[in-house]
Amino acid sequence: MSLHYDLHSHSRASDGTLTATELVQRACAVGVDVLALTDHDSVDGLAEARAAAARTPLRLIAGVEVSVTWNAQTVHIVGLNVDPDNAAFRAGLDGLQTFRDWRAEEIGRRLDKAGIADAYAGARRFASGRIVSRTHFAHFLVEQGRAHSVREVFKKFLVNNKPGYVPGEWATLEDALAWIHAAGGEAVVAHPARYSLTATKLRRLLGEFKDCGGAAIEVVSGSHSTDDMLRMAGVARALGLRASRGSDYHGPENPWVELGRIPPLPEDCIPVWQSWDVPAMAVNQ
């Protein structure tokens, strides 16, 4: 019997809205067999997720989604089967968290200048974990009636050339992969069709990713269209990369992305999990 994999999801440790326990329960309820928790720049939700999964048949994969700057673009690299206690990996994530803290305060200062007071404190209120994300600012600005939806807030305030946008440098591609590999994990390019990169630039990114030992790209993603999926299946095949599948679930407020509700990998893809000994690796204790 083939297992149902969802290898990209978020909890309240970053910008998801469910606790790790609720996320695991929902994964079971919707029929996911193997779930990766991949919070942004944090592994803080993994202990709770693992404890919750131990009470269910779900196999939990310890993951992360690392923020990277490549060629002045933000790119997300998912790490799967990482050891959350590895020192080099943790030091890398700590650096990103420090940058996030500064950036959050700077977003607050810039929004203040644009006439929106107390946004930093407001965003903090929506952040239940260590990570402050633009998503938390978006929740605050929706609450304040500055926009109708999170999407609209991003468009009006939080993207390049808008008042709350703060440019900055995340990890380098090389460092992100080195941290993931130090932690014994495999690296996957998240939602590759979502970046504003030409086909040539995307291939350059994926070429460098492969040179750094990268394993796979998300062919199936909650933010890919069918066309994106087929295109990325072709890219994976052409570059000899394996394929991953993840919803990028953030919580029930986002009704267009449900945990586990993603198409199967196209037949000609080599799944990232092909070489995994799933029952052996996902020891739920």
Binding residues for Mn ion, rule: CB under 5 A, are 15, 65, 76, 190, 248
Amino acid 281 reads M
Q: Is 50 in the site for ligand AMP (CB under 6 A)?
A: no
Amino acid 272 reads V
Q: In terms of CB distance, is 83 or 258 closer to ligand AMP? A: 258
Per partner kind, with CB cut-offs from 5 to 8 A, the member of ligand AMP, Mn ion, none near residue 190 is: Mn ion
Q: Is 40 in the site for ligand AMP (CB under 6 A)?
A: yes
218, containing H or E segment: strand 216-221
- String of DSSP letters for 30-60: TT-SEEEE--BT--TTHHHHHHHHTTSSPEE
The torsion angles phi and psi of 194, rounded to 5 degrees, stand at: -90, -10
Among 26, 50, 59, 134, binds ligand AMP (CB under 6 A): 134
Among candidate residues 209, 208, 232, the one with its CA nearest the CA of residue 221: 232
Q: In terms of CB distance, is 64 or 111 closer to Mn ion? A: 64
HSE-up of residue 154 (Cα within 13 Å, Cβ side): 7
State the minimum distance, in angstroms, from the CB of residue 260 to ligand AMP. Answer: 18
Q: Is 247 in the site for ligand AMP (CB under 6 A)?
A: no
Q: In terms of CB distance, is 44 or 65 closer to Mn ion? A: 65
CA atoms of 147 and 93, how far apart (whole Å): 32
Q: In terms of CB distance, is 15 or 41 closer to Mn ion? A: 15
Q: Bridge-partner residues for 220, per DSSP?
A: 245
Q: In terms of CB distance, is 140 or 154 closer to ligand AMP? A: 154
Per partner kind, with CB cut-offs from 5 to 8 A, the member of ligand AMP, Mn ion, none near residue 134 is: ligand AMP
Measure the CA angle with vertex 281, ends 214 and 60; round to 5°. Answer: 90
Interface contacts to ligand AMP, rule CB under 6 A = 15, 40, 67, 133-135, 150-151, 154, 250
